[in-house]
Each structure stands twice: as C-alpha cells, then as structure tokens.
Structure 1
Amino acid sequence: MGYTGIILVDKPRGPTSHQVAAWVGKMLKSDVGHSGTLDPMVSGVLVVMLGKAVRLAPLLLQHEKEYVACMRLHADIPRERVEEVVKQFTGRVYQRPPRRSAVKRALRIRVIYRIELIDMQDRLVLLKIRCEAGTYIRSVCVHIGNVLGCGGQMIELRRTKSGGFSCDEAHTLHEIRDAVELKDEAALSAMILPPEQAIGDIPKIVIRDKAAKAVANGAMLAGVGAISVEKFSRGQSVALITQSGKLIALAESLFDSDKIDCGKPGLIARSTRVFATPNSVT
C-alpha cells in the first residue's frame, strides 16, 4: 500500500529531480510528484509529494526558496565593492532563463527578498539568497558579474529551504532506502509529513465534520458548514480543515472573508482539490 504525505529529500548532485522523485516513489510504492525542479548538479531540499498529496503541487510550487550559491568572479574585485553590488539585487529583477533551461527563454520578473554575501576568498564569493519561486540563481550570478564589470559565473548551488521546509529536515535517499529495507515503520512515519504541513501560510476555513464529508463527496461548501474563517479575498485559494486540523480540500473562495457569515445559508467556497475521502472524515 502506498503512502500519502510529503517527504523532504536531500537531493544529491548528479540525478535529475524527476529521477530522485521516481526512486522515492518506487521505494515507497506511491504515486509521486515534486515541487521546484533542481538542475542535476544542484543539491538540497526537494519536496516530494506522495499519493493524494500530489494535488498540493500548485501550492508548493509557489513557495519561496532559499539557496546558498558559490560564484566565481573573473577578476580580482575588493570585497566592499562586491557587497555594494550584491545589495543592489534585492527586490524585483529581470531574468531570462539560461540556455540550458527546459522552459521558454522569455523575459520575466522575479523577486529577491534577501541576498547577502556570506564569505569571500580571492575570486570565490559565497551568497545566501531568499527569492521567489522560479528565480534562476545562475542568471543572478552572471548579472552580478556584469555589474561588477569583470564577469562571473555560478559554480555550485544548494537549495537550503523551500517554503518553511529546511534541508536540515531532509532525508538522504540512503536513509529512506534503509528504512524501507528494514521495514522500519516508525522511521518512515517520522519521515513522511502529513499534507497539513504544507498549508501553513494559506488562509483557512474551519468546517464541521458533516460539511467535511459533503466536501469529500464533491459538494461546494456552504456557510452553514463553516465554523470560522481567517482573512482572505474573493477568488483566493483557501484550505478547508476540520476542527481537529485535518486537511479536507483546497478551495476557491466565492466572497471576501468579511462578507461570510458562519452558520448561515449560501455557498462560500468551491473545492479545487480534495484530499479526504468520505470514510476518512470522523
């Protein structure tokens, strides 16, 4: 029987993200997906979704990312000058995906929330970058080198965070394989996180168990089934959860939260991805 949930994998350099996810799926006998592709020679946290948790992909793909990058400059530049230029890359930046990228090389805008110079030795520069999903760190390094006037390139990259998930919480492929081969259910249970772990930042509607069963059957959510709502806008993605915190579905809100009267008639949300089955709601 396959598993449902999220497992954080410390992807090694070499294989593709798709290969890593496929290996995990084969070991755990589960359907899999992953959020945020890492190039083959990039390591770090890869969020692998198992079973019905694959439906979380649109949400997880939007997570902010954090990287540690090693950049090599093509000339000797004073550290003070490098720090000055690096700070200029905070905020909205224009990017065109690198030639080796699998996506269309159209000009795009991405946001860098924080970038800092951690260390510098000769022409090697170590950077920590917190950025919007879809940011190409290789392009950031090239652009920093261009502004410095000497040129530069990324030579190594590691993803340290994806959303609230850190590489410190991730497991190697060997650790997962050992737990499977030893049939260590306790270890596997500790590795596989429930889908609820992925919805920390999304607004929530707490619903009654009767409404949860109806939603699990494909029904839209009515106000009579809602117990409480967090702040959100019409059309925003929300999580429908039970009082015990079980994730039932992701949904699109039909009204602003301040226009919703809990316990009153009228439809308030339309499910977009259902995770629970009617029998799993108690």
Structure 2
Amino acid sequence: MGRGNPKVTGVLPIGLENATKVMSYTTNAGKEYVCVMQVHCDVDEKTLAEVVKKFEGEIYQRPPVRSSVKRRLRIRRVKAIDLMEVKGRLALLRIESEPGTYMRKICHDAGILLGCGAHMRELRRTRSGIFTEKGLVTLQEVSEALYLWRNCKDESELKRILLPMEFALCGMPKIIVDDMAVNAIAYGAQVMAPGVVAYQKFNKGDLVGVITLKGEGVAIGVAEVSSEELENMEKGEVTRLKRVLIPRDVYPKAWK
C-alpha cells in the first residue's frame, strides 16, 4: 500500500431527491474517524501520545496537495484525539473533528513534530453528523435492493435501507408549526410566533428544524430568538429560513 493511496472506508450519508437539501446541514455537525498512522522511525508510546495530543483544540491546517479545495491556511477544531493502540510503527488514532479537517495532514504534521515523518495508512469514518456505523448499509446492498425493485417489482429491501428525510433533522432542535402555517412557509414566509405549536430548547443563532404536527420536515432555519424569548412572544419572526424542504400546496393555504 503506497503512501499516496490510503484505504478509506466508513460512513457516507447520501440524500436522494428532496433529501439532498438537508445533507450539508447534517454533515456539518461534526465527524469522527479511526485512523492508522505509520511513523517512519521507532518512537515510544508515551512520546507519540504527547505529540498527537498537541493537535487537540484549534489547529492551523493547509489542505494537502491532492485535495478538492483551495490550498490556503485555515483554522480547524479537533474536539478530541486519542492514541488507542500502538503496534511497531503503526498507531491507531480516534479523532473527532469539525468538517473539513484532513486526517492525513494531521498524520503528516505529527511526523514533522516527531522529527522523522509519518503518513496515513488507513482511514475509517465512524460518524458523520448523527449518522454512525450502526445500521450501516453497504453499496452492494443498495445495488441488490435496486435490482429487486427494477426487475422484480419488490421494494421491500429499498424500504428497509432508505430512511425518511426527517432523520437528518435529529441533530438539531425542532420547532413544530401549526398546519395552517406550513404552506405559507413553503412559499417562503418566515416562521412567526403565532404559528408555533411546540418547540425544543434552543439559543438565538442555532440551526433549527421546522416540522409539522405529524413530524414532516418543513424547513431549516436560524433562530432569531431563543426558546426562552419565544415563550413570551405573541408576534414576530422566530426563524430566518435557510432551506425550505416541503413542496408547495401539500397543505392548504391559510391566506386569501
């Protein structure tokens, strides 16, 4: 296995049709990886653990040469990095970070601090937003389910592996709106206090999911007020919409 060709596996959430609208918000919730780093010299476990811990918190990172983004210096936050196991020159790391953090760059930079170099051998994404390896579906299973549907008119496997779009909203607080407010939001109206039926706790500026009484996804927005302020509101805007999810005219119009 060459240094420029690491094995990469793990969780990759994919949205279909209307669900593509929520994917960027879902994956921005953070990621977790298990990474195999190969060090280019012999080093004791204590020294290795001390070096990798230096990458916890806010770090400066320039994307590697082979990347899909512009190579400019940027700040990324590593929430946690742990040395789980060492075998010879191979080290197993668990890393929890915000999106856009390059694990192979962490391995490379750790090698610089060690003074002898290092590179990433393998990488597995164990979590992306709220999605984990629990219930993971392989591409082979997707292919077989699609074959059964197309050729045998059997959609049971597709129903088993596909999740409703609303699952992607599980990682953010919810605001439930009245049925009469849904279509107005579908046409671009903001969520107004009189149309709110219930809500979870949230702060001003938080990303919130707007749903119907039945639990259907309506929109994603940024809270203009906190849930404490909303408790005493009789009128005014509650959110600033970022993305409308529900089609127009699914619910009846409440205006003339």
Q: Secondary structure of the residue that 2:110 maps to in structure 1?
A: helix
Kept in 2, the 8 Å contact 1:235–1:255? The answer is yes
Give the C-alpha shift of residue 263 in structure 1. 7.7
Deviates more, 1:265-274 or 1:153-162: 265-274
Does residue 1:206 correspond to 2:172, yes or no? no
Amino acid at match of 1:253: A
Deviations 1:192-228 (A, max 9, x none): 1112111223222111111123212332222111112
Task: Give 1:175 shift.
Answer: 0.7
Give RMSD over aligned pairs. Answer: 2.2
8 Å Cα contact 2:204-2:225 kept in structure 1: yes
Which one has the bigger strand percentage? 1
The amino acid of 2:87's aligned partner reads Q
CA contact (8 A) 1:69 1:154 kept: yes
Please report how far the alpha carbon of residue 270 of structure 1 lies from its aligned counterpart in structure 2 after TM superposition.
3.4
Distance 1:92 1:227, change over 3 A: same
SS at match of 1:48: coil
Residues 19-74 of structure 1 show CA distances to partners (whole Å, capped at 9, x for unaligned) of xxxxxxxxxxxxxxxxxxxx995221111111111111331231211111111111
Match of 1:186 among 136, 139, 156: 156
The residue number in structure 2 matching 1:146 is: 112
Cα pair 1:225 1:262 within 8 Å, conserved? no
- 1:74 aligns to 2:40 (yes or no): yes
Which of 264, 269, 276 is the equivalent residue of 2:234?
A: 264
Q: Which runs of 5+ in 1 are unaligned?
A: 1-38
Residue of structure 2 aligned with 1:172, choices 138, 141, 144: 138
- Aligned-partner SS, 1:174: helix
1:18 corresponding residue in structure 2: none
SS in 2 for 1:106: coil
Partner of 1:26: none
Deviation at 1:235, TM superposition (A): 4.2
User: In the alignment, residue 115 of structure 1 is paired with which amino acid?
Assistant: I
Per the alignment, residue 135 of structure 1 pairs with 101
CA contact (8 A) 2:27 2:128 kept: no
Partner of 1:116: 82
Provide TM-score, normalisation by structure 1.
0.79
Q: Which of these two proteins has the greater Rg computed from alpha carbons? A: 2
| Cross-structure match for 2:215 | 245
Aligned residue among 56, 65, 70 for 1:99: 65
SS of aligned partner of 2:143: helix
Aligned length: 244
Counterpart of 1:13 in structure 2 is: none
How far is the alpha carbon of 1:127 from its aligned partner? 1.1
CA–CA separation in structure 2 for the residues paired with 1:141 and 1:276: 43
SS in structure 1 of the partner of residue 12 of structure 2: strand
Between 216-225 and 175-184, the greater mean CA deviation after superposition: 216-225
TM-score, reference length from structure 2: 0.86
1:98 is displaced (CA, Å) by: 0.3
Structure 2: gaps (5+ residues): none
- Which residue identity does 2:57 align to in structure 1? G
Aligned twin of 1:55? 21
Aligned counterparts of 2:251 and 2:49: Cα–Cα separation in 1: 54
- Provide closer, same or farther for how the CA distance between residues 242 and 152 of structure 1 changes in structure 2, counting only shifts above 3 A: same
